[in-house]
Amino acid sequence: MSKKDIDLLKNYEILYNFFGPQGWWPADSPLEVIVGAVLTQNTSWQNVEKAIENLKRERLLDLTALVNVEQDKLAMLIKPSGYYNIKAKRLKNLITEIYKNFQDLEDIKKLSMEDARNFLLKINGIGCETADSILLYALGYPVFVIDAYTLRWLGRFDIKFSDSKRDSYHQSQALFMKNLPIDSKLFNEYHALIVRLGKEFCKKVPSCHECPFYIRAL
């Protein structure tokens, strides 16, 4: 299987028919998505939920409230999500930049996707995946989010990219976006389905016999 052989739209149908809609991103507001995107960096979502609940209880899921909260207090509240000192700093960086440049989150949507992406990537603590997650799941831009699950899944079709993290991110992202209709709803569901597959079947030690792609190949 080479890069030009894989039928990404067909594989989407297989995943969707097997798992059904995933309902990403679970949140009450775009700001909650943005906060969650930072908190979930290399961290299970289950732990992020505890941190989000703490922030809700303190009425901190609000742009001005987050601008004003002490970083140390923020760190204590998000402790369940791990890396809490770094993530508190990253959240402050992100929220401060958003607040400085936009009065309202909706105003970011006035930017082109490239401008919004560059704005986010300039912020310390926001890499490609976090930026694209925010663009897609908080702001609705049609960008395909890549993560470790995605690269592992492609690798098991013998589709491999550069050793460089950054290069493999953009190469695999280009593969999806060149071979799929540019549709934020599709990109939203597809990434969520790949994560679901990666957690349940396409694991580090894979459960190939249960996998929808293995079953289909029989």
Partner DNA sequence: CTCCAGGAGA
Partner DNA sequence: TCTCCGGGAG
Judged by CB under 7 A, which of 59, 110, 178, 204 binds DNA?
204
CA dihedral 98→104→110→116, nearest 10 degrees, is: 20
Alpha-carbon separation of residue 24 from 20, 21, 45, 192 (angstroms): 12, 9, 12, 7
Q: What is the smallest separation between the CB atom of 50 and DNA, expressed in angstroms?
A: 6
Q: Which of the residues 131 through 150 are near DNA (CB under 7 A)?
A: 131, 133, 147-149
Per CB under 7 A, does 84 bind DNA? yes
Per CB under 7 A, does 199 bind DNA? yes
Q: What is the rounded CA–CA span in Å between residue 207 and residue 215?
A: 11
Site string for DNA, 19-58 (x = CB under 7 A): -----xxx---------x---xxxxxxxx--x--------
Per CB under 7 A, does 83 bind DNA? yes
Q: What's 106's DSSP letter?
A: G
Handedness of CA 14, 16, 19, 25 (dihedral sign): positive
Give the residues lining the site for DNA (CB under 7 A): 24-26, 36, 40-47, 50, 79-87, 123-131, 133, 147-149, 163-165, 195, 198-199, 203-204
